[in-house]
Amino acid sequence: MKRWQASEFGPPNTVLKKVEVPLPEPGPNEARVRVLAASVALPDLMMVQGRYPLVPSAPVSPGQEIVGIVDKPGPGYPFSAGTRIMGNSRADIAIGGLAEYTLSPALGATPAPAELTDTHAAGFPGSYHLAHISLAHRAALSEGETLLVLGGSGRTGSAAIQLGKALGATVIATARHEDKARFCRLQGADHVIDLTEHDLAETVLELSGSRGADVIYDTVGGETYEQATRAVSRGGRVLLVGFASGTWGQPDPQHIVFNDYSVSGALALFRSDTERDLTREALSTFLRDGSITPPVTETYAFDDVPAAIASRSGGAVGQAVVTVAAEIVQEP
């Protein structure tokens, strides 16, 4: 089988090579999956460059999220051979999803809903499942509240914008430059703050009538996190989701206590069975009624993986997907 991997860190176009490797054998609670499509996101670029903390050494095999057909389930894996699933690869041990076959752990795997094509399913759990667990379960976002999405033009941020609107919130998104701001508006954001032109905290307070944001969904971290928490409401909830800036947001305990808000991490893998089932049901409903639509902005062929990874630089918007095998046509 063929897999894209790098024996050393560096620029994707230089270090990534398509190589022939043996079929991986699944262990307990994982399955070998025939990959149909794989999501390509900023963490994949950071992984290849050597900037991703969960993959500290080479070799590297990117492609964290996939949709595919279960080929060989290992002991304890919950889905039978032939099931179309979406979930994670084992990119953490250099068995990534940008390959003809990968290993996928049971934790986080779920049957791909019929409402999603393979292209749209590839990154769905890491964007929409994550956003729903964060907003609906961790932050309990309520209708009429104000949601601030930091980094609204990325795949996780755009999912949060769409879900925030579906849950009845007023959504403020941040972006840098007009093209990204325009993309955020297309996802449904009520207001977009161009951080190259406006002060974040001042503008959020102005837009919210001095109340501040009830929920902050932070995919950026760094200085943007600090600026945003100067405009959080009393009783507000801050969600740490990502670190597109290169560093996580750094919560200040004194600031949290004296401004009466909470900070929590969010990861779709860590959820109860009840939360998982409620999220699946809610997202299926939103897909059917058109409240959410994964914004796949770029698709690449399997031979073009280095270019796909390189595209996830700071200028990228939406979701990029690599198609690995022929797409499955769902029966009517």
Q: Is the pLDDT of residue 272 over 90?
A: no
Distance between CA atoms of residues 309 and 9, nearest Å: 13
Distance between CA atoms of residues 216 and 261, nearest Å: 11
CATH of the domain at 64: 3.90.180.10
Distance between CA atoms of residues 46 and 52, nearest Å: 5
194 and 223, same domain (yes or no): yes
**332: in domain:** no
* Entry pTM: 0.91
234 and 146, same domain (yes or no): yes
Segment 26-71, tens digit of pLDDT: 999 999 999 999 999 989 999 999 999 889 999 999 999 999 999 9
The residue-averaged pLDDT of 226-236 equals: 98
Work out the pLDDT band at 314, boundaries 50, 70, 90: low
Token output for 141 = 């976002």
3-state secondary structure of 142: coil
Task: Look at residue 330 in the predicted model and tell me its pLDDT.
Answer: 47
Average confidence score pLDDT of the chain: 94
102 and 170, same domain (yes or no): no
**107: in domain:** yes
Task: Look at residue 326 in the predicted model and tell me its pLDDT.
Answer: 65
| Among the listed residues 326, 175, 161, the one whose alpha carbon sits nearest the alpha carbon of residue 244 | 175
β-bridge partners, 323:
37, 301
Q: Can you list the positions of beta strands (E) in the chain?
A: 2-5, 17-20, 30-40, 65-73, 84-88, 101-105, 110-111, 146-150, 170-175, 191-194, 213-218, 232-240, 262-265, 296-301, 319-323
**23: in domain:** yes
Task: Look at residue 266 in the predicted model and tell me its pLDDT.
Answer: 87
Distance between CA atoms of residues 165 and 147, nearest Å: 9
Distance between CA atoms of residues 134 and 244, nearest Å: 17
178 and 105, same domain (yes or no): no
117 and 141, same domain (yes or no): no
CB count within 10 Å of CB 254 equals 7
Q: How much of the chain exceeds pLDDT 90, in percent?
A: 88
Q: Is the pLDDT of residue 103 over 50?
A: yes
| Measured CA angle at 188 (ends 186, 191), to 5 deg | 100
The residue-averaged pLDDT of 113-136 equals: 94
Read off the DSSP letter of residue 138: I
Task: Look at residue 329 in the predicted model and tell me its pLDDT.
Answer: 45
Contact 1, 100 (CB under 8 A): yes
Task: Look at residue 53 in the predicted model and tell me its pLDDT.
Answer: 86
The residue-averaged pLDDT of 299-313 equals: 94
133 and 204, same domain (yes or no): yes
Read off the DSSP letter of residue 118: H
Task: Look at residue 35 in the predicted model and tell me its pLDDT.
Answer: 98
260 and 141, same domain (yes or no): yes
Number of independent structural domains in the chain: 2
Distance between CA atoms of residues 49 and 325, nearest Å: 26
Residue range of the domain that includes 315:
2-123+294-323
Work out the pLDDT band at 327, boundaries 50, 70, 90: low
* Residue 237 CA to its chain's centroid (Å): 20
**210: in domain:** yes
143 and 254, same domain (yes or no): yes
Helices (H), the chain: 12-15, 42-49, 118-121, 124, 130-132, 155-166, 178-186, 200-207, 222-228, 253-259, 273-289, 305-310
207 and 168, same domain (yes or no): yes
Contact 76, 105 (CB under 8 A): no
Distance between CA atoms of residues 178 and 195, nearest Å: 10
CATH of the domain at 260: 3.40.50.720
